[in-house]
A and B are shown apart, each in its own frame.
Chain A
Amino acid sequence: MSERQLQMVKGNEAVAEAAVRAGCRHFFGYPITPQNELPEYMSGRMPEVGGTFLQAESEVAAINMVYGAAGAGVRVMTSSSSPGISLKQEGISYIAGAELPCVIVNMVRGGPGLGSIQPAQSDYFQSTKGGGHGDYRMVVLGPATLQEMVDLTYEAFDIADRYRNPVMILGDGVIGQMMEPVRFPDLMDPDTLPTKEWATKGRRDREELNLINSLYLDPDACWAHNQHLARKYAEMQENEVRYEVVHGDAEYFLVAYGTTARIARRSMTDLRERGYDVGLVRPISLWPFPEKAFRDLADRARGYLAVEMSLGQMVEDVRLSVDSSVPVAFYGTAGGVMPHHADITQQMEDLIRGTGDDR
């Protein structure tokens, strides 16, 4: 019972503990603010559960250690923040190409370049559109609360194993640094997980040699591999869409994910108290993007306001998902500055007035 008590935990530590509960026993990382509490926590926790914590010599080394451990069939995680995740992109592409499951956490900070250490959402393109080379996709999950981050992290390992594909938890500096009450799921024994027949951990008495590789020198073979990957990605798009719609009977909708969705929700409440018919669409899976949420609202929605801690990235997916006759406005702050709920409220009022809704 005590396992399921509400606990006050810091976001970075919550992700780490959720991973341990999900049976992750291998962590490779390299320090960077604002996610340092995550590897710090793992450095203490992994020895307790008989796991491996290793601070690598660089982000590039860390992601390649993830590649190796994933190839051996164990649940493995790495974490970083924006500049560090950029360094990991080559490895992520290789892992996707070699079809290996792993979970990658990005606590996004202001960019570009070294940017700032404050929260941002400006890595949306990099995460959802393939930050590394080649036609690959990964499931990207954007939690808005620590409980959701715990639940999604726990589930991320299952998703990764199901598709043999990397999954990213896309947080930001705020969700990494804040404390909120959470309930952790039960501790899973990794020995009870299904055996990964494809893992390269010794041939033993198997007939076939297991090979993990992303190199296909024959273009036809590489094309066949890409077609196989495309079918897998289509399956993910079919099965892994997650979103929340609040006040689905509204006429106007704020669209936001992660920390920004928390702020937008407060604006929604303010606007509704003042008589505006406003709801919220909150994508949780950023890839696959929840186009369905917008299709379902097509009959009634008269306008959308996408809000992000970026100069406008997710808004492109919103525009692709809605009928072009409906206005999709954008409001964003970047570089580590967070949007203020009163400013979002003002922007939404402007949108509603601009579309002829006189109050």
Chain B
Amino acid sequence: MYHEILIAGFGGQGVMLMGQMLAYAGMKRDLNVSWIPSYGPEQRGGTANCGVVLSTEPVGSPVVTEPSDCAVMNLPSLTKFEPAVTPSGYLYVNTSLCPDEVTRDDIKVVRVAATEEADAMGNARVANMIMLGAMMGGLEGLPFEVMEEVLPDVLPERHHGLIPVNLKALARGREIFESAE
């Protein structure tokens, strides 16, 4: 198993946290894991992405250029990374912010209206968790329950009251993945 995961969006959507949660989850399940942010002369409102490797083998480059699993949270990210996904890999699209259709037919596309779903749940900020829940559907070796252990580690203690809403959002994402399969 060697998953190369890329998560992209704009600054503030929580894409770095999504990646870190996957890395923590892998660590808790004894996988080899790495996480790396894109870094550069970034500007506010610009695109942000991170790469995560989850593997039973030692991790090679932590930088992900050809993701087997890719989530795009906005349209510029879809445009940029759709061509990069490996054939038969997963592309998770936040359809709320990506009006354009995916053109490739050699990859598995999972459409998640993450932003709208989050609004419907009454908390626009959990769009990233809905997307993450969907992504976990495609990651074998990473049971969904592990996120119950991860959230207390990644959220500062003062935000532990938000764990239930985050778990609910993750579960909603999981449902969306399962109904898309």
Contacts and interface: CB of A to CB of B under 8 A. Distances in A.
A8 B27 contact: yes
A338 B61 contact: yes
B23 A8 contact: yes
How big is the B interface, by class? Answer: 20 to 34
B27 A266 contact: no
B40 A266 contact: no
B35 A174 contact: no
A319 interface: no
Given A8-B23, A179-B23, A259 B39 contact: no
A278 B11 CA distance: 43
Given A179-B34, A180-B33, A181-B27, A117 B39 contact: yes
Contact of B63 (A6, A265, A269, A338): A338
B39 A34 contact: yes
Contacts of B24: 8
A265 B40 contact: no
Interface residues of A, number: 22
Given A8-B20, A8-B23, A117-B39, A181 B62 contact: no
B40 A117 contact: yes
B5 to A, nearest CB: 13
A269 B32 CA distance: 16
Contact of A179 (B36, B39, B41, B60): B36
Interface string A1-29: 00000101000000000000000000000
Contact of B65 (A262, A269, A340): A340
A259 B57 contact: no
Contact of A266 (B23, B41, B61): B61
Interface centre among A6, A118, A179, A262 (most CB of B within 10 A): A179
B61 A177 contact: no
A108 interface: no
Contacts of B33: 8, 180-181
Contact of A263 (B20, B27, B35, B60): B60
Interface of B: 20, 23-24, 27, 33-37, 39-41, 57-63, 65
11 contacts: A6-B27, A8-B23, A8-B24, A117-B40, A177-B36, A177-B39, A179-B35, A262-B61, A263-B60, A338-B61, A341-B60
Interface of A: 6, 8, 33-34, 117-118, 173-174, 177-181, 259, 262-263, 265-266, 269, 338, 340-341
